[in-house]
Amino acid sequence: MKTVYDFTVKDMQGKEISLSDYQGKVLLIVNTATGCGFTPHYEPLEDMYRTMRDKGFEVLDFPCNQFANQAPGSDEEIHEFCTVKFGTEFPRFAKIDVNGETADPLFVFLAAQKPFEGFGKGLKNAALNKFADMNNKAFGDKAYIKWNFTKFLIDWEGNVMARFEPTEDMETVKKAVAAAL
C-alpha cells in the first residue's frame, strides 16, 4: 500500500527530498499562504512543533498561491515572512500547486485518502465554502484542496489519519496530534 513515504518533494532550493526521510515520525502536512485570513495558524502550528518535536512530530509547510493569490512571494520571501513574523522553525518546502493539472502528486494522494467533507457549520464557514467554490471552478474535479491551511495528519507509518480544514479549531488539531504521538 502506498504511503506518504513514497513521495518526493522539492525544498526551497529546488532539491528533491524524499518524504521517507521523515519515516517513523508523526507529520502534519499543510498547504499555507502568507496573505490569508488563516495565516495566524502559523502560531499554533509553531507552538505544536516546538512542544512536540522531541516526541517525533514534524510540521511540513507547503506554500501555495492557488487561493485568491494569497502567497504571491518567492520561496525566500515567504520563508522570511514566516520566520520573522511568526518565528517558524519547522520545515518549509518550495511553493506548489495543490489543485488542477499541475497539482503536486503528494496533495493529490492526500486528498484521495481523505476527501473534503465540508468546512463545518456556521455563517463564516458557509461564506468560505461559497468563496472556495468560486475560486476552485477552474480546477473542476481536480479541486483537491478547498482552501489554504488544509492540514493532513500522518501516522508513524506514513498513513493519512485525518484531514483538517482551515476552519477546524486548532485545539482540535493539537489534540489529534498529541493522540497520534
Q: What is the pLDDT of residue 167?
A: 94
Residues 77 and 36: their CA atoms lie apart, in Å, by 15
What total of structural domains would you count in the chain?
A: 1
What cell was used for 85? 513574523
pLDDT for the residue 55: 97
**pLDDT value at residue 138:** 83
Q: Sign of the CA dihedral 21, 91, 12, 163?
A: positive
* Domain boundaries, position 30: 4-180
pLDDT of residue 132: 82
- Phi and psi at 176, nearest 5°, equal -65, -40
Q: What is the pLDDT of residue 40?
A: 92
* Residue 149 to residue 136: CA distance in whole angstroms: 15
57: CATH:
3.40.30.10
Which grid cell is 161? 489519519
> Residue 23's Cα: distance from chain center in Å?
18
Helix, strand or coil, per DSSP, at residue 31: strand
Catalytic residues: 36
Provide the sign of the torsion angle of the four alpha carbons 99, 65, 84, 20, taken in this order: positive
pLDDT tens digits for the chain (181 residues)? 899 999 999 999 999 999 999 999 999 999 999 988 888 999 999 999 999 999 999 999 999 999 988 898 898 999 999 999 999 999 999 999 999 999 999 999 999 999 998 888 877 778 788 878 888 888 888 889 999 999 999 999 999 999 999 999 999 999 999 999 9
Look up residue 99 and give its amino acid.
N
Copy the grid coordinates of residue 150: 488544509
**pTM exceeds 0.85, yes or no:** yes
> DSSP state, 140?
G
